Amino acid sequence: MSVRYVESSRLPTAWGVFDIHGFEDPDTNKEHVVLTMGDVGDGEPVLARIHSECLTGDALFSLRCDCGNQLEAALKAISVVGRGALFYLRQEGRGIGLLNKIKAYKLQDAGADTVEANEQLGFGADMRDYTILGPMLRHLHIARVLLMTNNPRKVLAMEENGVEVVERLALHTDSNPHNEKYLLTKGAKMGHLFAAD
């Protein structure tokens, strides 16, 4: 895996001061970051979240998804316990990219769900590659996690990267009229689990 560490610095946020660790993937020209708080490499289970970039939800406050709310909830949860890691992966639109996501939005406006829209554009339902996590996890010496996710693929991703998922923690956010179909599709077609194990 070609993902490599570049640099770290402090990052003050509304939820406290994190350390931000930068990584680059020369194969894709993508840059990824991990936000950590406290000592995450001491062998104890680390509260963690794998979060894929969502410009529309994370930065532009879109109500079409729950991404921004999940990002904020994860950062808040880490700050409450004072220790954790958030992996922010540059895999917009489940890996299809921002402009293709906008095309998918147009298809959703015409009645398609999120999976159907991706497939109509010639993509798989979820094109994200979680093997890129390996070098980041090894660099931070993270071996055991309490994983905040509703997505069973992310549990598998951690395990495939040699990390023990001690517990999956459901990440609840409020629905709204704009994202109800999106959330239903995640449960029905993508196997997302909205309750704790």
pLDDT given at position 94: 85
Positive or negative, the CA dihedral 191, 108, 67, 163 is: positive
92 is in an annotated binding site: yes
Q: Which of 64, 90, 128, 168 is catalytic?
A: 128
CA 191 – CA 170 distance, rounded (Å): 13
The number of CA neighbours under 13 Å toward the Cβ of 56 is: 18
154 is in an annotated binding site: yes
49 is in an annotated binding site: yes
Do both 112 and 172 map to the same domain? no
Supply the CATH number for residue 136's domain: 3.40.50.10990
What are the φ/ψ torsions at residue 60 (nearest 5 degrees)?
A: -105, 5
Would 6 be classed as within a structural domain? no
- Low-confidence stretches of the chain (pLDDT < 70) are 1, 173-174, 176-197
Do both 85 and 15 map to the same domain? yes
The number of CA neighbours under 13 Å toward the Cβ of 72 is: 11
Structure tokens at 43: 């062998």
**Structural domains of the chain, count:** 2
Would 4 be classed as within a structural domain? no
The amino acid occupying position 36 is: T
Look-up of token digits 């999956």: 168
pLDDT given at position 126: 87
Please name the helix (run of DSSP H) or strand (run of DSSP E) that holds residue 22, with its range, or none: strand 16-25
Range of the domain at 84: 11-91+128-190
The question of whether 128 is a catalytic residue gets the answer yes
pLDDT given at position 177: 65
Would 196 be classed as within a structural domain? no
Do both 114 and 141 map to the same domain? no
pLDDT given at position 193: 60
